[in-house]
């Protein structure tokens, strides 16, 4: 059921602002990376109330959907999107990773891209809605032919960071729509024969659309079209795409909801800012990006955000006691936290709509079984290394965690590692 946002009154929104480190930063477009969590939403509402975001500067809010979030996160992100667009006229886009087919160096292949989606669930009769059954996550796994783990967070890289960059390349080019991508043949051109040994793994992404359709930005936002007047980014687009790397990249501000108690993550962000200023940094996805953490700068902690949400008539409907944030069973959450989620979910039967989706541990068990790589040792030939979500030959798997819950200690400690997905 959609909440009537005209009835929502925001109470005691803190007076947070951006403490600019350089005067010129005020003119750079501001990109708010919305994580779907309470801290991120509190920061967004506060900056909106204090008129810190301006559409004419090219400011935009982005939420990258992994299709593996908790259902309440989608409802919460939808309310935040509608408040942002309908009350403050700032565009708030939901994006999803997707692949398409084209040729590269004489071969047909699949290439990464993104699409815009609306804030209602995807269905056959509502094809522009967001995916929530793990489709986006699985397309990425099938395309990469392996699973992410805590050392190689492929999901963060492809579903979030690079998807945002691809979106910004279009957004900063002042385009009214994204380009159609992919070949014009009716059928797939990627050879399945060469992939025979990997048939089970690659079949998912090869069954998705061979093209990426053109989409009008205006169709995916309730913010009315405002002409961007920002001379700083005007001449940085070539061939319909804004330059985000190289000698003359678009300079922009990124706003993230890191709090004062997340000091290690804040410190890492600040280090990245400084390395980007000194010289060209090949690992940095956008050379002109400068990240601000206004919550941390104002000393806002987790307790402050909890106090803020206690005063509101609406909230993220996720209990504080269980860590359901980000992808529900994210492998970065740690064994104890994951067991806690499994136990909680097993005590509350899932509605049929959510069975065998990422809210259900069975989905993660099946995905791990399907995409874990098994590599034979080149030395002995008869030992096999298995690369799962928890590393090489790890005894921990999603299946083992499900079996463990009966033995779990009654005291649960949150042992999650920050997944840093939006930093
Ligand atoms: S929340 Fe975890 S599983 Fe989801 S994209 Fe981030 S690191 Fe990957």
The predicted-structure confidence for 326-380, as pLDDT tens digits, reads as follows 888 999 998 888 998 998 888 878 888 888 999 999 999 999 999 999 888 776 6
SS3 245: coil
Mutate to test the pocket of ligand 1, among 152, 332, 363, 398 (most ligand atoms within 8 A of CB): 332
String of DSSP letters for 205-220 = HHTS-SSB---BGGGG
Position in ligand 1 atom list of the atom nearest CA 329? 3
347 CB-contact burial (10 Å; exposed 0-12 / middle 13-18 / buried 19+): exposed
Q: What is the mean pLDDT of residues 157-170?
A: 96
247 has a pLDDT exceeding 90: no
pLDDT digits (tens, 9 = 90+) for 19-59: 999 999 999 999 999 999 999 999 999 999 999 999 999 99
Q: What is the mean pLDDT of residues 113-131?
A: 96
216 has a pLDDT exceeding 70: yes
Mutate to test the pocket of ligand 1, among 148, 325, 363, 390 (most ligand atoms within 8 A of CB): 148
pLDDT of 194 reads 64
Taking the centre of ligand 1 as the mean of its atom positions, its distance from the CA of residue 103, in whole angstroms, is 30
Residue bearing the bigger pLDDT, 145 or 414: 145
From the list 43, 42, 39, 37, the residue with the least C-alpha distance to 17 is: 43
Taking the centre of ligand 1 as the mean of its atom positions, its distance from the CA of residue 46, in whole angstroms, is 26
Taking the centre of ligand 1 as the mean of its atom positions, its distance from the CA of residue 306, in whole angstroms, is 23
d(CA 334, CA 321): 15
d(CA 294, CA 286): 21
SS3 100: strand
pTM greater than 0.85: yes
Taking the centre of ligand 1 as the mean of its atom positions, its distance from the CA of residue 330, in whole angstroms, is 5
78 CB-contact burial (10 Å; exposed 0-12 / middle 13-18 / buried 19+): buried
Least confident of 31-40, 162-171, 231-240, 286-295: 231-240
Q: Whose CA is nearest to atom 3 of ligand 1?
A: 330
pLDDT of 397 reads 95
Taking the centre of ligand 1 as the mean of its atom positions, its distance from the CA of residue 344, in whole angstroms, is 20
Position in ligand 1 atom list of the atom nearest CA 419? 7
pLDDT of 182 reads 96
Taking the centre of ligand 1 as the mean of its atom positions, its distance from the CA of residue 58, in whole angstroms, is 28
Residue 169, token pair as written in the block: 């390349």
Position in ligand 1 atom list of the atom nearest CA 333? 2
Helix axes 361-371, 335-347, angle to 10 degrees: 130
Q: Return all residues near 179 (Cβ < 8 A) that are at least 6 apart.
A: 170, 214, 240
pLDDT digits (tens, 9 = 90+) for 390-421: 999 999 999 999 988 766 555 555 565 656 66
Residue 30 β-bridge partners: 253
Report residues whose beta carbon is within 6 angstroms of any ligand 1 atom. 66, 68, 148, 153, 155-156, 159, 326-327, 330, 332, 419, 421
Residue reference for tokens 């936290």: 337
Q: Whose CA is nearest to atom 2 of ligand 1?
A: 330
Position in ligand 1 atom list of the atom nearest CA 148? 8
Taking the centre of ligand 1 as the mean of its atom positions, its distance from the CA of residue 327, in whole angstroms, is 5
Q: Whose CA is nearest to atom 4 of ligand 1?
A: 327
pLDDT digits (tens, 9 = 90+) for 300-325: 999 999 999 999 999 998 887 778 88
Sheet holding 384-388, edge to edge: 373-376, 384-388, 391-392
Taking the centre of ligand 1 as the mean of its atom positions, its distance from the CA of residue 422, in whole angstroms, is 10
- Break the chain into its structural domains and give their ranges: 19-310, 331-407
Taking the centre of ligand 1 as the mean of its atom positions, its distance from the CA of residue 107, in whole angstroms, is 31
SS3 384: strand
| Phi and psi, residue 131, nearest 5° | -90, 145
Q: Whose CA is nearest to atom 7 of ligand 1?
A: 419
Taking the centre of ligand 1 as the mean of its atom positions, its distance from the CA of residue 388, in whole angstroms, is 14
Residue 286, token pair as written in the block: 């956008």
Q: Whose CA is nearest to atom 8 of ligand 1?
A: 155
278 has a pLDDT exceeding 50: no
């Amino acid at each position: 059921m959609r909440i009537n946002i005209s009835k929502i009154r925001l109470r005691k929104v803190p007076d947070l602002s951006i403490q600019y480190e350089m005067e010129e930063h005020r003119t750079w477009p501001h990109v708010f990376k919305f994580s779907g969590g309470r801290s991120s939403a509190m920061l967004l509402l506060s900056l909106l109330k204090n008129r810190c975001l301006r559409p004419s500067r090219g400011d935009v809010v982005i939420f990258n959907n992994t299709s593996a979030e908790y259902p309440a996160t989608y409802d919460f992100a939808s309310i935040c999107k509608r408040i942002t667009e309908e009350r403050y006229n700032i565009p708030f886009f939901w994006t999803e990773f997707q692949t398409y087919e084209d040729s590269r160096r004489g071969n047909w292949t699949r290439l990464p891209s993104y699409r815009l989606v609306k804030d209602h669930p995807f269905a056959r009769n509502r094809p522009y809605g967001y995916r929530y059954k793990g489709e986006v996550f699985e397309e990425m796994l099938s395309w990469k032919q392996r699973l992410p783990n805590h050392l190689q967070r492929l999901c963060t890289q492809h579903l979030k960071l690079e998807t945002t960059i691809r979106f910004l390349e279009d957004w900063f080019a002042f385009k009214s729509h994204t380009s159609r991508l992919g070949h014009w043949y009716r059928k797939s051109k990627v050879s399945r024969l060469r992939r025979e040994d990997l048939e089970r793994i690659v079949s998912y992404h090869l069954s998705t659309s061979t093209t990426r359709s053109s989409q009008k930005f205006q169709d995916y936002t309730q913010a009315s079209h405002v002409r961007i007047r920002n001379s700083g980014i005007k001449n940085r687009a070539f061939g319909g795409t804004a330059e985000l790397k190289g000698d003359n990249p678009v300079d922009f501000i990124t706003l993230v909801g890191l709090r004062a108690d997340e000091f290690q993550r804040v410190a890492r962000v600040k280090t990245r800012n400084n390395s980007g200023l000194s010289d060209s940094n090949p690992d940095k996805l956008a050379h002109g990006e400068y990240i601000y953490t206004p919550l941390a700068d104002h000393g806002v902690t987790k307790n402050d955000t909890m106090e803020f949400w206690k005063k509101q008539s609406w909230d993220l409907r996720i209990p504080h006691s269980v860590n359901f944030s980000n992808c529900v069973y994210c492998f970065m959450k740690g064994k104890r936290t994951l067991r806690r989620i499994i136990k909680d979910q097993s005590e509350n039967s899932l509605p049929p709509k959510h069975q065998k989706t990422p809210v259900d541990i069975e989905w993660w068990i099946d995905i791990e079984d399907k995409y874990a790589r098994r590599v034979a040792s080149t030395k002995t030939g008869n030992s096999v290394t298995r690369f799962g979500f928890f590393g090489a030959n790890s005894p921990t798997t999603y299946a083992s965690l499900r079996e463990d819950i009966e033995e779990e200690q009654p005291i649960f400690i949150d042992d999650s590692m920050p997944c840093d997905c939006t930093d």
